[in-house]
Structure 1
Amino acid sequence: MKTSKNTILITGGGSGIGFETAKLLSQQGNTVIITGRNEEKLKAATQQLKDVHYIVADVTKEDDVNALIEKINQDFPDLNVLMNNAGLVFLHNVGTSANAAALAREEMDTNYFAVVNLTTKLLPQLKKQPEAAVINVSSIVAFAPGLSLPTYSASKAALHSYTQALRLSVASDTNVKVFELMPPLVDTEFAKDIPSDSKISPQEVAEDLVRSLETNHYEIRVASTEQLYSNFLSQADKAVFALNRLEQN
């Protein structure tokens, strides 16, 4: 897929992986639109970038999504790439948390249902373009759950399955390519409360994404995700223990 002269919408684009991807793609001659709930953060991001626009929108709110779609149709009719990057995570123990169900609903709403909703609403526009793409940002925990982020892991597993189904469903009769970006733990504000000494930079993730777009590599398992994926395919139970650095009895 070409990585220049696209019009790209990135949800959660004000920081982290979304910001670094917007930065890299804007430098390559693309028009980039970033969305998020925090207008100050979006303004600050666009001031640092070239040919990047922002639209304030909460992807979990139907009115915001409808207004976003209307704005895109009006101002960016050539939109041909959607990157579903916005995410939410709560750290808790599913075995002891009294409000696990409430946290689960919020995470699933942001990380899964909002992705399906926005993608469904934008697909008609994407299908009109000579070449288009949907990029879903899932995670290493789509394959093996992190003990401190149980529903986040479940939401990413659901997103992984949805992405595969979407790819197969549009492959035969559209120009829409469907990519899945699966980073390990990344050193961002999003993951600041998750303890780890092996976080990678968001720049590394963005660079890997762009390389994979150029070669139509649809499942982008960044850094240590590749090894965990191999473990998952061969010995799924060991993958869970390896991710959480636990000894298997």
Structure 2
Amino acid sequence: MDKSYADEVARRRQAILERIEQAAERAGRDPADVRLVAVSKTVGVDEVIAAIHAGYRCFGENRPQELGRKLAGLAEHDDLPTVRFDMIGNLQKNKINAVLGRVGLIHSISSAHLAEAVSSRVLKHAGEEKADTAMKAPFVQDVLLEVNVSGEESKSGFSPDELRRAMPDLVELSGIRIRGLMTMAPRGDAEAARRTFSELRELRDELAAAYPAQDLGELSCGMSEDFPIAVEEGSTVVRLGRVVFDPAFELE
């Protein structure tokens, strides 16, 4: 990897962290409460390695096949620190097995049927691995529930009312652990983005009060164009791709 690219990734990371810190301070938040996911879905293994050297430790992929390619590529470098991958894109049911046990968090549980399918696969896998692991804690997949707060037809996810209706059944699924909510805001409209993130936070707070046994602390929202607004509105996870990896993407 060209040293100038690696240096640019490192420079951009520092600028991103400064913007997160400034946004958190405006909202009276601790910037340490915001986790940065570098969305690596459009770059190669070399670019991921440059990002690791720059300090990134969590990456986001949206296709299981590409996730596998990245994991295999990084495994060839035994001098790298440990990193984690999250699944951030639409997950097809026939690809669930390719993701389980390989990602820390699935951000995009967009329907009750998908939640049930993931939970079922986890439990099936646990049964297959049961043999002599009786003392081992059972594997549970951490997930976020994707909410289409803005109501755009082009976006997937539960509507807020659908999620309210589905929650009693979702919290009973023993193969998954619901850690919070995820959304995507309309592009190119800062005020619409702010409303979307604010409404997601309010919905999370409502559900956390209704289901106190659940740890719903995570809010995954904010991308390259709008992450400072998301931080101001309570995001705990920002998913950044172009602003991390593309030298042509303008850093304000």
**Category of TM-score, reference length = shorter chain:** 0.3 to 0.5
TM-score (norm 1): 0.37
Larger Rg: 2
